[in-house]
Structure 1
Amino acid sequence: MAVINRRAFLSWLSTSGLALTGVAALTEPASADRGGEDVLVLAGGTLIDGTGGKPRHNATIVLVGDRIVAIGRPRHALPEGVKVVDLRGKYVLPGLWDSHAHTDNLPKIHLPLWIANGVTSVREMWGLAHLPAMRERIEAGEILGPRMVIASKMMDGPYAGSSVPSNAAVVRTPEEARAAVRAAKNSGADFVKIWSLLEPELFEAIATEAHRRGLPLSGHLPDRVPVLDGIRAGMTTMEHLHGIPLDVSSRRDEFRALINSTPVDPANPAAYYFFVRQLEMEAIKSYALRRAERLFSALRRSRTVLTPTMTVQRFFTFPPSFHRADPRVKYMPPWLVESWNANMGPEWTPAQIEAGQAYYRAVLELVGSINEAEVVQLAGSDSLVPYQFAGFSLQDELGWLVDGGLTPMQAILAATRNPARMVGLGHLSGTVQPGKWADLLVVDADPLVNIRNTQRIHAVVTRGRLITRAERERMLAAVAAEAQVTPPPAAPAANCCGTTGIYVRH
């Protein structure tokens, strides 16, 4: 088939009746030499555009390069020579965001897994040293991978130095805290990431300096900081629901006093982290409706966003045998899976299993209550936690958010429009509209009927490049093969959420 002349295509487009923007890209001299080879038309699918509006049937979506330039139903037939993909019977969504991502320095494994699962953008929650160069290579088209918004080094208190790799920013005084924020700004970090062992004084110093420097503040609400104080400090997002079970409990003051009076063991700071998590498991049993309503109202008014990471909740509340049975381990290097298993400990007793499942059910109800209160929640997977798989786990997360009470549409928004807005990219990403990035997910069945239909992937479009079902299957096969020959790193891999050397007991 001959490639259409760009001038002829532009003439057709101007009379097509489609909603247009960005058509100037068609007339740029640099691209005119390519003819119409970067014009792609997706025709006949049902568009779920990420705005929250009703699906649009039999939609035509015109892509030029890495942008969407037109959407609608054309008045007349497409001219010959245009590359058209027939999507009748398919459903088109915006490319997904993972709002709590960790991409290890394994570009032949993690990067294709994100894209193969329709995750075209990620918010990297730890500014690991390899990420800026990886992002540059992706942006330059040297390697295929998602768009990245990258955090600062993880900032934590003095005890963290004995439990996390040296690429964390360990702060001991308010001045060190402020200096860490300034260093993050100078290094080009997109936002500041904090962790759990920060004392309130250090947290306040980081928050004040971050706002002074124009950097959003996200991460773990420090264990000794109540949720309301995190709101007042202007946290943009709070991860994993940390602190919320404590502060919606009728025994809140008792639990907070215990947290504040319990010292951190410098030789084993992770034990303190899990001590607080155990208190949260106890606190959720005394859920106080009125207290919860007041807290959720404060979150909504402040526009503080929560990332529940149900993937993490499940890891800590399901027994080791459950995770070890996951067939997706074939996409991970055997040495990595072995390290996961070594840290998980022995199999649980029936009582431990029941305690874990009771807490998981309570967290699902908590997610539903937060949603009913109209607090924005994002989909995130935390792929540094064992048995989380880049891309796959974000897809899982959508299903678990719906299990918790979100509608399928709300779950889709949690992985499309809402994260794009939260990171300041709503004008470019998160919805399928003219002028936005050409990042799309095409699935075989209606996700508004069953959210897990987002896993029935027909095709992915990233930066205007169409990845067909056959190409996706080749990508996954290549990842599985690569995993078998990938050697372990020279230095220990980063860990998140205290998952090295300890596994929650109930």
Structure 2
Amino acid sequence: MTRYLFPLLLLIFKDSQAQYLPQAMALTNATIIDANHRTPLEHQTIIINKGRIAEIIPTGSKGLPDTVMVINLAGKYVLPGLIDSHVHLATDPSGVDGREHTLDVLQRMLYSGVTTVRDMAGDGRVLAGLSRDANLGIIVSPNIYYSALMAGAVFFSDPRTATSTQGGSNGHMPYMQAITDSTDLKIAVAQAKGSGASGIKLYANLSARQAEEIITEARRQQMPVWAHAWLQDAKPSDLVKSGILSLSHAPLLLRQKIPQIPAEWKKGTHPSSFWDNATPDLDSLFALMKQYHTILDATIFTYKDWADTDSTVRWDYETGRRLTARAYKAGVMICAGTDVDQKEFVQSEMQLLIKDAGFTTIDAIIAATRNSACALDLGARKGLVKVNMDADLLIVDANPIENIENIKKVFLVVKGGRIYGK
């Protein structure tokens, strides 16, 4: 009898936003697309139990218990839920990131197919609450994994750090710490972990030695470390050799070879050939990143967004998209993050990876699923439609490999076995 609940769900979803958590369900006649199925795998039944993918079998190959809710997905395409590897949800919780606004953004994000995000520094107190509520289904939201930020002491004059630590001591919060040569890193990392953060983000004004020591201690305490690709006193290659999991922002890779951005880059309008010649050869860095399995969190959409409004920063976008394209050709793993304060979601980054960095459509999908899961150190749980993975799924009406715009034709979203629909 349970299997016939789905028509009722459709009636509920038709008139309002809703969610439903069945004990077990079977998605039949599904066509699967993911990193393991670059060519769509048709006529599959995905059995979900207690929030995990329990079994995947050819549709009709065996009977299903009467207690399983069956959803026929004939003509639909099932992908892993999308993962945005770079968001900022709580930089200013008392201002632009107020709760009402943030909840609206998170709801729209989930209904678009984004089931997981990595927040790359904000008020950890707020993020802890949002993460808990999202995980329990109290709020309609992707699951939220967030970072604890560590940076040199001089960085904490940045006003963003003050808005993220209101009521506390700027630079001395467990989730946002100023690091000096006298910092006890064993305690600092333990405090970061105790804040509920999933990883540590290295931001600015840290030396190569400090970065390496943080990464070493974090590894001992089983915390991944992420970083801006350049920390003023640490080059990209320093971070790669130290074992960083991911580097954010493709234009920052320039600092491997260019200590100071040329003034000419910031003036006037330059033709495409100018940027082709100006962008340095970083093949040796890309080889190193591939050797150390370092993931590039390119965030080219945010640089395009800036370039469209300020010609003096167009160099960021022009060099960033070229470096992303070259890294992709070199075999560097690239994830998909936005970093635009959620004005756009990760689907826009996917589109730019195809248009401006030469990605195939399936590789853009993989960037926003498996690769982003790996960047979050969650590759064993998320990013694939596979047995024992979390049941985080995006179901669309048309094949996104044929046209990436089809990623927006959402039929249903499943997060942790919970069904979401409009």
Query: Structure 2 length normalisation: TM-score?
Result: 0.79
Q: Structure 1: give runs of 5+ residues left out of the alignment.
A: 6-35, 260-273, 320-347, 472-506
Q: How does 1:326-475 map to 2 (within 5 A)?
A: 352=311, 356=314, 360-384=317-341, 388-389=342-343, 392-403=344-355, 404-468=357-421, 471=422
Letter in 2 for 1:296: F
Q: Which residue is 2:180 aligned to?
A: 173
Within the candidate set 87, 112, 115, 1:117 is matched to 112
Displacement of 1:90 in angstroms is 1.4
Residue 335 of structure 2 aligns to a residue whose secondary structure is: coil
Shift of 1:200: 4.3
Secondary structure of the residue aligned to 1:416 is helix
Q: How does 1:3-82 map to 2 (within 5 A)?
A: 3=2, 37-73=22-58, 74-75=60-61, 78=64, 82=68
Alpha-carbon separation, structure 2, partners of 1:187 and 1:37: 32
Q: Residues 371 and 208 (structure 1 numbering): CA distance in 2 closer, same or farther, change over 3 Å?
A: same
Distance across 2 between alignment mates of 1:156 and 1:177: 14
Aligned length, in residue pairs: 375
Which amino acid counterpart does residue 413 of structure 1 have in structure 2?
I
Equivalent position of 1:238 in the other structure:
247
- TM-superposed CA distance for 1:52, in Å, is 4.4
- Aligned equivalents of 1:278, 1:112: Cα separation in 2: 38
- Which position in structure 2 is the counterpart of 1:474? none
Match of 1:143 in 2: 139
Q: What is the rounded CA distance, in whole Å, between the counterparts of 1:216 and 1:81 in structure 2?
A: 41
Counterpart contact for 2:149–2:203, Cα < 8 Å: no
- Per the TM alignment, residue 240 of structure 1 is displaced from its structure 2 partner at its CA by 0.7
AA paired with 2:127? Answer: L
Contact 1:67–1:464 (8 Å) recurs in 2: yes
Tell me how large the CA RMSD over aligned residues is. Answer: 3.1
**Cα offsets for 1:55-106 (capped at 9, x unmatched):** 1112221222312122222225656664322222211101111111222352
Choose 1 or 2 for highest CA Rg: 1
How far apart, in 2, do the equivalents of 1:44 and 1:121 lie?
Answer: 26
In structure 2, relative to structure 1, the CA distance for the partners of 1:201 and 1:77 (3 Å cut) is: closer
Corresponding residue for residue 133 of structure 1: 129
Shift of 1:150: 1.9
State the identity as a percent. Answer: 29
Q: CA deviation at 1:205?
A: 4.3
Q: Is the 8 A contact 1:117 1:455 kept in 2?
A: yes
Q: Which of these residues, 152, 160, 173, is aligned with residue 156 of structure 2?
A: 160
Give the corresponding residue for 2:12. none
Assess if the C-alpha contact under 8 Å between 1:90 and 1:444 holds in 2.
yes
**What pairs with 1:267-346 in structure 2 (closer than 5 Å)?**
285-289=277-281, 292-319=282-309
Residues 383-420 of structure 1, C-alpha deviation per residue, up to 9 Å, x if partnerless? 43xxx33xx42111111111211111111111111222
Checking the alignment, whether the CA contact within 8 Å between 2:148 and 2:201 is kept in structure 1 is yes
- Find the partner of 1:184 among 192, 207, 219: 192
Correspondence for 2:16: none
Greater fraction strand: 2
Distance 1:174 1:101 in 2: 30
Structure 2 stretches lacking a partner, 5+ long? 5-20, 94-98, 166-170
Partner Cα distance (2:24, 2:177) in 1: 49
Give, as a single letter, the amino acid of the residue that structure 2 aligns with 1:244.
L
Residues 243 and 162 (structure 1 numbering): CA distance in 2 closer, same or farther, change over 3 Å? Answer: closer
- Distance in 1, matches of 2:345 and 2:128, equals 23
Summarize deviations over 1:447-499 as a string: whole Å, max 9, x none.
Answer: 1112222112111111212223xx2xxxxxxxxxxxxxxxxxxxxxxxxxxxx
Give 1:127 shift.
5.0
State the TM-score, normalized to the length of structure 1: 0.67
Q: Does the CA contact (< 8 Å) of 2:3 and 2:70 recur in 1?
A: no
Mapped partners of 1:382, 1:218: distance in 2 = 15
